[in-house]
Amino acid sequence: MMSFLKSLVHRIAPVLFSMCLTLGVIASASPALANTVSVEMGQGGMLAYSPAEVTISPGDTVHFDVGLAGPHNVVFDSANSAGEASSLSHNALEMSGGFDVSFPADATAGEYAYYCEPHRGAGMVGKIVVQ
């Protein structure tokens, strides 16, 4: 009887160890966390985005904070993709507050140029680099 129990323990122990190890790895693995990057619009009365260029990862969000010299919006150039530009753009003109532009987790890496529609001629342009 004792040899049977020893044999059983020797057979089950590696399986239990593997299960515990697998559960530990699964429990400790965390999904990639999306980040939020802030861009200020019209701060100090300037017709500019600050910073003018930010770098993000797919799945991240860019928060645009409306400052002075409004109204402001964010319109993406259709140079990358007309559909993508349309879905990312915040066409509504805002006088205060802020809004978020979230990039999908499968966003194509590259440069995304954008501008403020009423102030584009004054040089209010920016760029988001997705890496």
User: Residue 46 annotated as binding?
Assistant: no
User: Residue 72 annotated as binding?
Assistant: yes
In the residue annotation, 63 being an active-site residue is answered as: no
Please tell me whether residues 63 and 120 are part of one structural domain.
yes
Please tell me whether residues 106 and 126 are part of one structural domain.
yes
Please tell me whether residues 26 and 43 are part of one structural domain.
no
User: Residue 10 annotated as binding?
Assistant: no
Neighbouring residues of 107: CB distance < 8 A, sequence distance ≥ 6: 58, 59, 84, 130
In the residue annotation, 10 being an active-site residue is answered as: no
Q: What percent of the chain has pLDDT over 70?
A: 74
Neighbouring residues of 7: CB distance < 8 A, sequence distance ≥ 6: none
pLDDT over threshold 80, residue 76: yes
Ramachandran region of residue 117, left (φ > 0), alpha (ψ -120 to 50) or beta? alpha
Please tell me whether residues 124 and 85 are part of one structural domain.
yes
Average pLDDT, the chain: 84
Domain span holding position 4: 1-30
In the residue annotation, 124 being an active-site residue is answered as: yes
58-67 residue pLDDT tens: 999 999 999 9
Please tell me whether residues 47 and 91 are part of one structural domain.
yes
The region of weakest confidence among 11-20, 81-90, 93-102, 119-128 is 11-20
CATH number at residue 108: 2.60.40.420
User: Residue 63 annotated as binding?
Assistant: no
Q: How many domains, in total, are found in the chain?
A: 2
Please tell me whether residues 52 and 7 are part of one structural domain.
no
In the residue annotation, 20 being an active-site residue is answered as: no
Please tell me whether residues 68 and 102 are part of one structural domain.
yes
Catalytic residue among 2, 20, 63, 124: 124
Three-state DSSP class for residue 90: strand
